[in-house]
Amino acid sequence: MTLRAGDPAPACSPRFVRQLFLDIGLAMAMVLASTVALAQTTIDPTGRSSEPPGPLKEEFQRPKPPPSPVLPIVPLPPETEMPTQPGTVRVFVRDVRVIGNTAFSDQEIAEVTAPFKNRTLMTEDLERLRLALTLLYINKGYLTSGAIIPDQDVTSEVITVQIIEGKLTRIDVEGNRWFRSSYLRNRLALGIRTPVTLGPLQEQLQLLQQDRRIERVNAELRPGDQRGDSLLNVRVADRNPFHATMEVNNYLTPLVGEIRGVGTLVHDNLTGHGDPLRLSYGQSSGAFPIVDASYALPFNQYGTTFSPYYRRVGFKLIEPPFTPLNIKTNSEIIGMSLRHPIYKTMTDEVALSIIGEHLFTQSFLFNGTPDEMTFNSFPGFQNGAATVSALRFAQDWTHRTLDTVLAVRSRFSVGLNVLGATINANPNTPDGQFFSWLGQAQGIKQFGENLLGMQLLGHMDLQFTNSPLFPVEQVALGGRYTVRGYREVTILRDNSFIASVEPRVPLVRWANGQPMFQFAPFVDVAHGWNIGDNHQTVINSLANPVNTLASVGAGLRWNILPDDKAVFEVYWGQQLNHVPSIGNNLQSHGVHLGIVVNLF
């Protein structure tokens, strides 16, 4: 058959079929990355749900001041001379022998006792010696330790002083409704030293009070039954662990309906061991259901946490010209992580995590009709499906002070040929075997009233790989949490760089000083590039070959209710590197908006 110029290609021609599948493949690649992004934390711009929530999941809320000390510091006894009493003892002391000491070196003890050697001591001198040794302990935080001079016959001109080093024999916990007392005792036990030391114990109490599930901690050291023994009485007021939120925003790709609603139910302390359970369900006009379930169980006093999670998303393309094709995709992610903090103080935490996850996704054409079939929507897919089994190793550092929060994450990912992972012989074709590195840095700085109480936010992300990746491992660029002013998932790239700076200036405040309205100008930029067949797909297809996105714009944040109980935000971005708009929606006009309501 011969075609003349101007004649339309028959619907069954190879050219039509190739172009049709090319268009579908491009659309599905964009949707796949956005699908996994449905359950992501608000700071994760990678388009993947392959890791636990990031260290700044609360998304740049002002850091809370550290709690005040919950243990009173024992005042030092005044160093006043004791008047000589009738019957004063007079004894010549050549040397002072100290027993029972384990906290100080012999040299430190000798420096205290030196003024009392080789001289005649009276009763008040002996009391000063005892007090000097006691103050040595108290000044170093050993509140329940001290010295006594037992009854003795001074022979060989040597006097013996006994040190009673304090021991914490019991921790009593009361007032807690949701936490198990054993869980709280085990955490506080990390601060127990012998002799009892103020510093470590105080730090553990303050770390406990920093827990967002605890409203208040009061502690008191009481004397025990034996000399030197102490009891720690702790009263804890814990918060209601039930929380529910509703969220509506336009942070999905318009291919599956940009407006989505999500409801989330959280129990922050399911069994009383500080183990949160989180369930969420949502949908858009083309994405349903959006199911996310996660659980985290600390199984020792050091905060080592095991976290299984499950995510499921089903979606269909609803944006023309794909609507008549009834394209449906189902995706499932099953994962688990093990996280251990190797260093933790009031201001800093360093943690290591190992993460394993299994992802399966499959696409159908003409879904729900007699002509339903699977199709390969992206290079490397087989029988319309792709499976990834990945092992990831992450390192986190978080630093918090009264006016600054910094968080840095490094994550290495290895795709393994296990559990049915999709493997392709061509090294230029994406498959389930890969290696990548993701680095993230985020921060917030709270300025004083001399700068209008402004907050300065910033984040930078880097991903590097030497392998072509499936969409769920690529970085999606464009949208609210990457480059505003562009549609969600404007481009997909194997390697990427993302940076953003956003000052927030309070315009109106609540009576408690919290911002009610904030003006938020911003600058966003991102650059990405592909490898292998992914690179050729971008060059040869109708996809936009742009590799760099950049925008400037401004937003308005409205805390409808204080304490972030209801927050509305709207951002508008102006593209600096123009990408033609597709469709007519808010994102195509550079608008990103959302509202979150904390129901309880």
What residues make up the domain containing 273? 14-60+240-598
199 versus 394: the higher-pLDDT residue is 394
Beta strands in 296-369 (DSSP E): 297-298, 305-316, 328-344, 348-365
Give the CATH number for residue 214: 3.10.20.310
Model confidence, pTM: 0.83
Among 119, 141, 164, identify where a domain stops.
164
Measured in degrees and rounded to the nearest 5, phi and psi for residue 578 equal -70, 135
* pLDDT, average across residues 208-217: 92
Residues 386 and 273 in one domain: yes
Provide the 3-class DSSP secondary structure of residue 248: strand
Dihedrals phi, psi of 520, to nearest 5 degrees: -135, 85
Same domain, 351 and 491: yes
- Is the backbone peptide bond immediately before 289 cis, with ω within 30 degrees of 0? yes
Query: What is the tally of structural domains in the chain?
Result: 3
The answer on 383 and 458 residing in a single domain is yes
Q: How confident is the model at residue 420 (pLDDT cuts 50, 70, 90)?
A: very high
Q: Same structural domain for residues 444 and 520?
A: yes
Residue 77 has pLDDT above 50, yes or no: no
The domain boundary, picked from 207, 238, 269, lies at 238
Which pLDDT score is estimated for 61? Answer: 47
Q: Are 455 and 446 in contact (CB under 8 A)?
A: yes
Strand ranges (E), 434-514: 435-446, 455-465, 475-477, 491-493, 495-509
The predicted model gives 495-514 an average pLDDT of 94
What contacts 24+ positions apart, CB below 8 Å, involve 37-42? Answer: 37/476, 37/488, 37/489, 38/252, 38/260, 38/282, 38/287, 38/290, 38/292, 38/311, 38/313, 39/280, 39/290, 39/292, 39/311, 39/313, 42/481
Return the amino acid letter for 482: T
Note whether 518 and 507 are within 8 A (CB).
yes
Res. 416: pLDDT tops 90: yes
Instruction: Tell whether the model's pLDDT for residue 501 goes beyond 90.
Output: yes
Please report the pLDDT score of residue 537 as a whole number: 55
Residues 482 and 418 in one domain: yes
Among the candidates 147, 164, 181, a domain finishes at 164
**249 band by pLDDT with thresholds 50, 70 and 90:** very high
Instruction: Name the nearest CA neighbour of 357 among 336, 338, 340, 339.
Output: 336
Q: Give the pairing type, strands 515-529 and 297-298.
A: unpaired
Taking only Cα atoms into account, the Rg of the chain, rounded to an integer number of angstroms, comes to: 32
Q: What is the pLDDT of residue 74?
A: 44
DSSP lists the bridge partners of residue 163 as 147
Q: Same domain for 294 and 151?
A: no
Determine the Cα–Cα distance for residues 349 and 112; give it in Å rounded to an integer: 38
pLDDT at 87: 54
pLDDT digits (tens, 9 = 90+) for 465-482: 999 999 888 888 999 999
Based on the domain organization, do 233 and 281 belong to the same domain?
Answer: no
Does some domain include residue 24? yes
The DSSP letter of residue 249 is: E
Task: Give the confidence band of 259 by pLDDT, cuts at 50, 70, 90.
Answer: very high
pLDDT at 52: 32
- Name the 3-class secondary structure at 10: coil
- Say if residue 338 is in the same domain as residue 245: yes
Using pLDDT thresholds of 50, 70 and 90, give the confidence band for residue 361: confident
Q: Are 412 and 468 found together in one domain? A: yes
Domain assignment present for residue 370? The answer is: yes
Q: Give tens-digit pLDDT for 156-205.
A: 899 999 999 999 999 999 999 999 999 999 999 999 998 998 889 989 99
Q: How confident is the model at residue 18 (pLDDT cuts 50, 70, 90)?
A: very low
Whether pLDDT at 2 is above 50: no
Output the CA–CA distances (angstroms, integers) from residue 166 to 119, 142, 173, 221, in the order listed.
31, 7, 20, 11
Task: Clarify whether residues 122 and 199 are in a common domain.
Answer: no
